[in-house]
Amino acid sequence: MALVLMRHGLLLAGILFALGLVGVLVRRNILFILLSIEIMLNAAGLAFVVAGSRWIQPDGQVMFIFILTMAAAEVSVGLALLLQLYHRFKSLDIDAASRMRG
Amino acid sequence: MLELLWLIPTLPFAGFVVLALIGAWLSPGKVALIGVGSVGLSAIMAALVSFRFLLSPPPGHLYSQILWRWIEVGNFMPEIGLSLDALSLVMVLVVSWVSFLIHLYSAEFMIDEEGYSRFFAYMNLFVGSMLTLVLADNLLLLYLGWEGVGLCSYLLIGFWYKDPANGRAAMKAFIVTRIGDAAMAMGLFLIFTHLGTLNIQELMQRASELWTVGSTLPIVAAALLLAGAVGKSAQLPLQTWLPDAMAGPTPVSALIHAATMVTAGVYLIARTHVLFSLAPAVQLIVALIGAATLLLAGCSALTQRDIKRVLAYSTISQFGYMFLALGVGAWSAAIFHFMTHAFFKALLFLGAGVVIMGLHGEHDMFKMGGLRTELPLTFWTFLIGSASLSALPLVTAGFYSKDLILWQAWSSKLGSPWLWGAGLAGALLTSIYTFRMVFLSFFGQPKARVSRGPGICITIPLVVLAVLSVIGGFIELPETLGNRPLFSEFLHSVLPNPVGGGSLLLPFQALAAIVSLGGIWLAYLLFLRHRRYTENLVRTPLGTALHCFWFGGWSFDWLYDTLFVQPFATVARADKEDKIDLFYRGLAWLNRTLHFGLSATQSGRVRWYAAAIGIGAIVTIGIAVLL
């Protein structure tokens, strides 16, 4: 079992998280924002897994399964919002929904 | 019979209620019937009750009638209760009968005025309050009547409210007397705190048991009550409101500012005389205030042009005599002078009202003259009133009452030659200014035509009051003239006689008589025979200065304006921008700015929210790592 260096694993997780965050901030298309959020979640999950393998503990993978479950729930809500947004504004631009009414 | 006592103040109140509710829809005849009738019935009731009281005096010469309990808070349980003793009997009789005569007069005098029913409503309310004041058996109810007459005074001075000057005069009267009233309220608090009751009889008893002569508490309590009396009775230093109160209709001046309301101060002091006896220092102040006021007001009366203002200053001056009498412990002499003064001063005001009405509202005496032939009845009654005011010897009521005061100012244990001298000088001034008024308006060349003479409703009060101004004095004859002091013997059950006495009564009486006659003679010389000489005298620099000074009431208005009104107005102007509020407005501004800053972040842009969360997380982690 080739040991992955913890440092490398965390670095990858950090890069992925940063990429995801930048995606959330700069993208206007809600679909891509959801994708970026997925990337961030997976980056966090990766960090757990790396840590779990470092201390030879199953807890990291258990956490990852929790995160996956949560991500599935989040995506279902997110996609429902996406559909509503598209219905309402005929576009996927998140800024179109910036006006607050009542 | 005595149990009908409650009707005496109730009848005028009932008249007020009827007139206030439906007066506007009644014809003037019905308004007058209700307005005059209610007071007339009250006066008859007062006469019946007094008759009964005199025939078979109740035990202790005191009849109390408790109607109901007013308030009940802890041990504070004032009652709506009336009490009748010799003092309140005299007051009730004078107040109700003089009020009735003045109401009768007003029924004709005010007939052409707008607001006829409003006038009678206020007048009835006034009489009801005044009767409550004099009949009250506790100081709280007395205070209610006290404030009631103050309110009516305000309403009636400002009766012709369309002229702003009248409104200002009304407010002045209200505010100046309010200063005294506030002090009096404090006095009541003090008395209740220390004696535990406001019932007058109990209070007097406890005060004489618990307090020693000259200790601090009675002095403070008496001084506070004195401040209230000074305000109501227009004495120094709160006398400035009365001359301006002449802005009201003439019957109002006769009723409120001569015969009844201003007597409330005298009544209060006589009523609580036990307190004042416990505070000799305050009693001395009462005498000094009286002496100073009678001289100051006498000088001012000498220079006025407006006939009503002469009478106003004269009223202040005569109340100075009453205060002087109270100050030397001559309680019954003060009440005696109150009674005779009510007769002749009401008469003089009503006579002046006829003159003013006849000359289309002319108040200036220098534009009158020769009215002797035009208004003969008014002239003769006015002359009788003037003679009584200037204490013409032997035949007038004013002589007996004023002479009694002067004699007791000299002979009483608390009196002194100085007080007596001031009173004598005041008597000289009184007869000069009184006959100046008579000579200027009724003698000399006619200067204006009289358009309207008095009718029957005006004539009756004039004649009745003229008769009373003559015979009113015979119920108290001094030792030298028959020695029948019926009045002070009657009041003896309430008011003790002054301590002291002497045997020189006759020379003093002769001196007072000479002074009175001399004043009339001087007035004749100065204002009828040698008018030119007097005018030249006034034109000298000193004469002009003195004339201006006295004409303006010794510049008290100016003094108060400079001392109180203007600093207050300056502070108010300086604080127009609400400097003190700056701090609070700064707080509000800060909150609003923060609010706008924060609400700007609520843009609705999800990506900004995400960025804010991200930055927040980084900052938090950064802080956690670095620290």
Partner-chain residue, chosen from B602, B605, B614, that has the shortest CB–CB distance to A95: B605
Determine which of B138-142, B507-511, B586-590 has the lowest per-residue pLDDT on average: B507-511
- pLDDT tens digit string along B507-556? 777 887 888 888 888 888 777 777 777 777 777 777 777 777 777 777 78
- How many other C-beta atoms can be found within 10 angstroms of the C-beta atom of residue B602? 10
Mean pLDDT calculated for residue range B363-392: 82
Please tell me which residue of chain A has the smallest CA distance to B612. Answer: A25
Residues of A in contact with B603 (CB under 8 A): 98
User: B166-183, pLDDT tens digit by residue?
Assistant: 888 888 888 888 888 999
Q: Taking phi first (over 0 means left), then psi (-120 to 50 degrees means alpha), and beta for anything else, what does residue A51 get?
A: alpha
The residue of chain B nearest to residue A23, with distances taken between CA atoms, is: B607
Q: Single out the residue of B206, B397, B436 nearest to residue B314, CA to CA.
A: B436
CA atoms within 13 A on the CB side of B1: 15
Q: Which two tokens stand for residue B298?
A: 């006498």
**Chain segment B423-453, per-residue pLDDT in tens:** 888 888 888 888 888 888 888 777 777 777 7
Contact predicate B290/B321, CB 8 Å? yes
- Identity at B471, one-letter amino acid code: I
Backbone angles phi, psi at B170, to 5 degrees: -65, -45
pLDDT in tens, A39-81: 999 999 999 999 888 888 899 899 999 999 999 999 999 999 8
Q: Which residues are within 8 A (CB) of B148 and not within 5 positions of it... i.e. 6 or more apart?
A: B125, B126, B128, B129, B130, B132, B133
Parallel/antiparallel/unpaired status of strands B79-85 and B62-69: antiparallel
Interface contact A25-B614, CB threshold 8 A: yes
Residue B501, pLDDT score: 58
- DSSP letter at B390 equals T
Taking residues B206-211, what's their average pLDDT?
Answer: 84
Q: Pick left, alpha or beta for residue B554 (phi over 0 → left; psi -120 to 50 → alpha; otherwise beta).
A: left
Q: What is the rounded distance in angstroms from the CA atom of residue B219 to the CA atom of residue B172?
A: 29
A1, pLDDT greater than 70: no
Put simply, the answer to whether A99 touches B604 (Cβ < 8 Å) is yes
Burial class (CB in 10 A: 0-12, 13-18, 19+), B75: exposed
State how far residue B611 is from chain A, nearest Cα, in angstroms.
6
Torsion of CA B404, B409, B413, B414, to 10 degrees: 130
**Is the separation of the CB atoms in B248 and B119 below 8 Å?**
no
List helix spans (H) across A27-90. 30-54, 59-89
Which residues in chain B are closer than 8 Å to A28, comparing Cβ atoms? 607
Taking a C-beta distance cutoff of 8 angstroms, is the pair B51, B153 a contact?
no
Chain A residues within an 8 Å CB radius of B617: none
3-state DSSP assignment of residue B364: strand
User: Closest by alpha carbon to B231, among B312, B192, B186, B175?
Assistant: B175
pLDDT of residue B616: 93
pTM: 0.77
Cα of B588 to nearest chain A Cα, Å: 26
CB atoms inside a 10 Å sphere around CB A7: 10
Size of interface A-B (CB pairs under 8 A): 25
Q: What percent of chain B lies above the pLDDT cut of 90?
A: 7
Rounded to the nearest 10 degrees, what angle do helices B116-135 and B7-22 cross at? 160
pLDDT at B382: 87
Q: Is B85 helix (H, G, I), strand (E, B) or coil?
A: strand
Alpha-carbon distance of B332 to B572, in angstroms, equals: 48
CA dist., res. B219 & res. B229, Å (int)? 15
Q: What is the pLDDT of residue A38?
A: 93
Nearest CA in chain A to B615: A21
* Per-residue pLDDT at A2 exceeds 60: no
Mutate to test the interface with B, among A17, A24, A99 (most CBs of B within 10 A): A24
Question: With a CB-CB cutoff of 8 Å, which residues 578-607 of chain B face chain A?
Answer: 602-607
DSSP state of B66: E
